[in-house]
């Protein structure tokens, strides 16, 4: 291998490589004192046989495959062994002496080459159809080389050159052919974790569960889920989103948050919103209030009517969890629920600071993310035919309890909001 080829191979494998100039210097020092055939790595006899095959057949690629080298190398050997004019004279003389036999030899060589390529493609298609030999993984190349060697007796060196496999890699992987791959071992664990998480989790949460039983990378989990069609249940966005905006009922407070939905401690910044569910023959509305410290749902209410009682009762539940001296900012959109006198009176009585987003600007309200998570995991992709309101409300209540106590979040170090607060000593 040339110095440039060695440097390129090291970089391809992700290893630190010297410059090409340094590599040429090292190679020259290693080969100092050796003969030319030794420096080239091929015996003179081998090179002469390869060149003779090329002169008989005119196919440099086939001749190069016999020695595991490139066609350009065959041209170089031809020039060094015979020279340009002498080589042409020898080829013409061989043609005159061989007569019709030259055509037979050429046909035999071509048949042998085609038989080799055909058998290699058959073995390759048995492993992975529709891909060329050099597109296989190293393990698949090892299987192909082993089958070709055992079934048809082709030399390993020729097979290594044909599929692009290093000799050391082959001998390392051939010992592992009888063992199941890590993908095979991880596949049932991925399926089990996906089902256990209710078929609503993405590859990161599935990887988190699988990694407790087997160390495997996120990319492997993502590949298995994509290959096996493990897609989280979701029907996307509703055709028309619910909006509680009915015009400017009163003066709106300023936006004190500015899309900075992070809090340094609990009960410092709350966000709230209302969403609608269209069920079988009826509609219902859910109002939630979320703490931006860790995403915990502090309070929630559900109702068959999106009235003031729904929003006010939720706010009273949230206020009941406050300690002395805590005065959080309550951020909402410009919906009517947060501009009616009852809501304003509760905020003023308990010292809550009101903040409102811009009109029709969903990125200004972090509660939209909570609803998106809830509907993807507990609403979309399910058949709600014949489900009464009471049963559906219990279903939403169970999901909110799961969200607060058990649903792990990557931003919290793979802890749920309750687990995160306990780890910080904020709750017992």
SS (H, E, C) 62-125: HHHHHHCCCHHHHHHHHHHHHCHHHHHHHHHHHHHHHCHHHHHHHHHHHHHHHHHHHHHHHHHH
Instruction: Measure the CA–CA gap between 334 and 358, rounded to whole angstroms.
Output: 7
Residue 243 in this model has a pLDDT that exceeds 70:
no
**Is the pLDDT higher at 30 or at 301?**
301
Task: Please name the residues in contact with 69: beta carbons below 8 A apart, sequence gap of 6 or more.
Answer: 42, 50, 161
**Is the pLDDT higher at 46 or at 176?**
176
pLDDT at 35: 43
pLDDT at 314: 94
Burial of 179: CB neighbours in 10 Å, binned 0-12, 13-18, 19+ = exposed
* Cβ-contact 333, 258 below 8 angstroms: no
User: Which of 362, 366, 375, 364 minimizes the C-alpha distance to 403?
Assistant: 375
Q: Chain centroid to CA 19: how far?
A: 33
In DSSP terms, 354 is beta-bridged to 330
Overall average pLDDT of the 235-259 stretch: 60
Instruction: Measure the CA–CA gap between 385 and 279, rounded to whole angstroms.
Output: 8
**Is the pLDDT higher at 124 or at 414?**
414
| 212-215 CB contacts, 8 Å cutoff, 24+ apart | 213/189, 214/185, 214/186, 214/189
Residue 114 in this model has a pLDDT that exceeds 60:
yes
**100-104, 122-126, 142-146, range with greatest mean pLDDT:** 142-146
Instruction: Measure the CA–CA gap between 343 and 141, rounded to whole angstroms.
Output: 70
Q: How confident is the model at residue 71 (pLDDT cuts 50, 70, 90)?
A: confident
Residues 213-223: pLDDT tens digits? 888 889 999 99
Residues 36-59: pLDDT tens digits? 444 455 667 777 778 877 877 778
Tokens 């539940």 locate to 317
In DSSP terms, 301 is beta-bridged to 287
* Total number of residues shown for the chain: 428
Q: Provide the 10 A C-beta neighbour count for residue 88.
A: 12
Instruction: Measure the CA–CA gap between 82 and 148, rounded to whole angstroms.
Output: 35
Instruction: Measure the CA–CA gap between 132 and 129, rounded to whole angstroms.
Output: 9
Residue 106 in this model has a pLDDT that exceeds 60:
yes
**Is the pLDDT higher at 307 or at 5?**
307
Q: How confident is the model at residue 89 (pLDDT cuts 50, 70, 90)?
A: very low
Q: How confident is the model at residue 9 (pLDDT cuts 50, 70, 90)?
A: low
Question: To which H or E segment does residue 363 belong?
Answer: none
Least confident of 163-167, 332-336, 394-398: 332-336
**Is the pLDDT higher at 347 or at 7?**
347
DSSP string, 205-236: HHHHHHTTTS---HHHHHHHHHHTT-PPP---
Tokens 């891909």 locate to 131
pLDDT at 235: 41
Q: How confident is the model at residue 96 (pLDDT cuts 50, 70, 90)?
A: very low
Residues 258-275: pLDDT tens digits? 778 888 899 999 999 999
CA-to-CA dists, residue 380 to 69, 109, 208, 235, angstroms: 59, 64, 23, 5
State both tokens at 209: 């569960």
Q: Provide the 10 A C-beta neighbour count for residue 224.
A: 24
Q: Chain centroid to CA 215: how far?
A: 16
Residue 151 in this model has a pLDDT that exceeds 60:
yes
Burial 310-324 (b: 16+ CB within 10 A, else e): bbbbbbeebbeebee
**Is the pLDDT higher at 326 or at 362?**
326
Overall average pLDDT of the 374-395 stretch: 90
* Cβ-contact 219, 186 below 8 angstroms: no
pLDDT at 311: 92
Residue 84 in this model has a pLDDT that exceeds 60:
no
Q: Report the share of the chain in percent with pLDDT over 70.
A: 76
User: Which of 163, 169, 167, 173 minimizes the C-alpha distance to 133?
Assistant: 163
């Amino acid at each position: 291998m040339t110095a440039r080829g060695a440097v390129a191979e090291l970089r391809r494998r992700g290893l630190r490589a010297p410059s090409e100039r340094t590599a040429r210097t090292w190679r020259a020092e290693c080969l100092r004192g050796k003969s030319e055939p030794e420096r080239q790595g091929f015996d003179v006899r081998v090179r002469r046989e390869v060149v003779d095959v090329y002169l008989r057949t005119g196919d440099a690629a086939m001749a190069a495959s016999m020695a595991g080298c490139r066609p350009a190398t065959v041209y170089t050997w031809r020039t060094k062994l015979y020279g340009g004019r002498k080589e042409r004279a020898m080829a013409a003389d061989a043609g005159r002496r061989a007569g019709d036999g030259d055509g037979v030899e050429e046909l035999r060589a071509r048949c042998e080459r085609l038989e080799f390529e055909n058998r290699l493609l058959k073995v390759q298609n048995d492993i992975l159809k529709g891909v060329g030999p050099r597109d296989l993984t190293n393990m698949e190349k090892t299987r192909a080389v082993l089958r070709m060697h055992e079934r048809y007796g082709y030399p390993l060196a020729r097979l290594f050159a044909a599929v692009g496999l290093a000799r050391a890699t082959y001998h390392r992987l051939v010992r592992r052919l009888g063992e199941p791959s890590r993908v095979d071992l991880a596949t049932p664990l991925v399926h089990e974790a996906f089902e256990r998480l209710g078929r609503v989790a993405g590859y990161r949460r599935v990887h988190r569960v699988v990694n407790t039983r087997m160390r495997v990378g996120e990319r492997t989990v993502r590949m298995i889920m994509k290959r096996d069609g493990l897609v989280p249940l979701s029907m996307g966005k509703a055709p028309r989103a619910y909006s509680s905006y009915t015009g400017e009922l009163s003066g709106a407070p300023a936006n004190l948050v500015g899309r900075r939905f992070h809090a340094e401690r609990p009960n410092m910044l709350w966000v709230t919103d209302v969403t609608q569910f269209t069920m079988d023959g009826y509609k219902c509305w859910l109002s939630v209030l979320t703490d931006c410290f860790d995403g915990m749902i502090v309070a929630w209410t559900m109702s068959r009517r999106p009235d003031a009682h729904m929003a006010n009762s939720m706010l009273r539940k949230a206020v009941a969890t406050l300690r002395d001296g805590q005065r959080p900012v309550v951020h909402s959109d410009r919906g009517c629920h947060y501009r009616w006198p009852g809501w304003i009176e509760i905020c003023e009585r308990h010292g809550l600071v009101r903040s409102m987003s811009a009109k029709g600007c969903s990125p200004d309200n972090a509660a939209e993310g909570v609803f998106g998570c809830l509907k993807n995991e507990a609403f979309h992709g399910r058949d709600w035919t014949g489900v009464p309101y009471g049963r559906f409300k219990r279903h939403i209540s169970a999901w909110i309890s799961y969200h607060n106590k058990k649903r792990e979040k990557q931003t919290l170090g793979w802890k749920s909001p309750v687990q995160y607060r306990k780890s910080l000593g904020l709750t017992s």
